[in-house]
Chain A
Amino acid sequence: AQSVTQLDSHVSVSEGTPVLLRCNYSSSYSPSLFWYVQHPNKGLQLLLKYTSAATLVKGINGFEAEFKKSETSFHLTKPSAHMSDAAEYFCVVIQLDSNYQLIWGAGTKLIIKP
């Protein structure tokens, strides 16, 4: 069975400092992994995705994530946080053996301090 664990329910950083949102997964197959962001009162937006190409994936708004198979991790990073990054972030793995059903992490709320 596949699962996704987001290690922090809340992360608080100061504006201009680096962001690290942690995600670990378990998968019986080579996984496809996503990061989504949900801003308050808005729908989900895809930040980036890993699909067995380059292990370092660059996404929108300066975010990137590195797929590390040995650590079963797919942590999301950004060098310098901006106030507009305040949102909830979801790590997701795609379940290949079940009609492409998504397995969602519990989410991490990113708080940006001025």
Chain B
Amino acid sequence: GAVVSQHPSWVICKSGTSVKIECRSLDFQATTMFWYRQFPKQSLMLMATSNEGSKATYEQGVEKDKFLINHASLTLSTLTVTSAHPEDSSFYICSAPRRGRPPGEKLFFGSGTQLSVL
């Protein structure tokens, strides 16, 4: 089946540094990818929709300059948390829809990245 690879799985960084998270579709092309964030004891919240070759679409309340998204190719989207602070510590996950198949067959998830900012 289709696979979405996300890494790193874990990252610990100092406050003020930037962290890049990669999401790759391994056996299909993804013109769109979704980035989610999970707050403790809450459900995943959509942060932004990454579009290949164009600007990402951010959800209300998500800082564009804080969470930089680049979808440079049909198989790679990156999320960069810039100048990370402890409140950015969270679980981040990407998903990619695979087109050409019925709804419900289309969405594939990365394994997630646990970010801890010290």
Contacts and interface: CB of A to CB of B under 8 A. Distances in A.
Interface in A7-53: 32-34, 36, 41-44, 46, 49-52
A51 B102 contact: yes
Given A44-B112, A99-B49, A104 B107 contact: no
B6 to A, nearest CB: 8
A31 to B, nearest CB: 9
Nearest to B95: A102
Contacts, number: 58
Given A90-B44, A102-B34, A50 B110 contact: no
A106 B43 contact: yes
Given A43-B109, A44-B93, A104 B44 contact: yes
Given A43-B109, A43-B110, A50-B104, A99 B42 contact: no
B43 A90 contact: yes
Interface string B45-89: 110010000000000000000000000000000000000000000
A32 B112 contact: no
Contacts of A99: 32, 49, 97
A110 to B, nearest CB: 14
Interface of A: 32-34, 36, 41-44, 46, 49-52, 90, 94, 96, 99-102, 104-107
Interface of B: 6, 9, 32, 34, 41-46, 49, 93, 95, 97, 102-107, 109-112, 114
